[in-house]
């Protein structure tokens, strides 16, 4: 069990380094231009879902440029994995010992799970249950 924890820990290190190096340059957003709205002395931007975000403080106090804000898809755009199902060793879908698949893993209350980085990068959150504990595993 100890060697599995060390293995999972070591697999996590390249993931953290990769994530830290994936910062984009300001103004390099691939999103369409933001819609800037001025309402009641407030400066707002609208995301792709139509939700308005108050950026007045950032613009007036820190000199941010309203139309250069970057944003994601908006709230609730990426659905989490609910009650993930795991393959056991020897079952179809379980990676071979020669596989180079990246995983992240955790052990809670003696229950160990490994989550595929390929899957987690598309869903970002897995809502799982370890014993009687409900856990949101995030990537």
Report the C-alpha gap between 81 and 79 in whole angstroms. Answer: 7
**Tens digit of pLDDT for each residue in 105-117?**
999 999 999 999 9
Q: pTM higher than 0.85 for the full model?
A: no
Q: Where are the domains of the chain?
A: 35-68, 78-138
* Overall average pLDDT of the 92-116 stretch: 89
Q: Taking a C-beta distance cutoff of 8 angstroms, is the pair 68, 31 a contact?
A: no
Angle at CA 31, nearest 5°, toward 28 and 34?
100
């Amino acid at each position: 069990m100890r060697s599995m924890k060390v293995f999972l820990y070591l697999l996590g290190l390249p993931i953290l380094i990769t994530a830290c190096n994936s910062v984009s340059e300001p103004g390099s957003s691939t999103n369409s231009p933001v819609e800037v709205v001025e309402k009641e002395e407030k400066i707002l931007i609208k995301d792709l879902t139509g939700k308005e975000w108050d950026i007045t403080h950032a613009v007036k106090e820190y000199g941010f440029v309203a139309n250069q804000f970057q944003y994601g898809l908006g709230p609730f755009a990426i659905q989490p994995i609910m009650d993930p199902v795991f393959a056991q060793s020897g079952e179809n879908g379980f990676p071979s010992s020669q596989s180079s698949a990246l995983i992240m893993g955790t052990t809670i209350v003696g229950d160990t799970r490994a989550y595929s980085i390929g899957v987690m990068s598309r869903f970002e959150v897995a809502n799982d249950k370890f014993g009687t504990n409900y856990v949101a595993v995030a990537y």
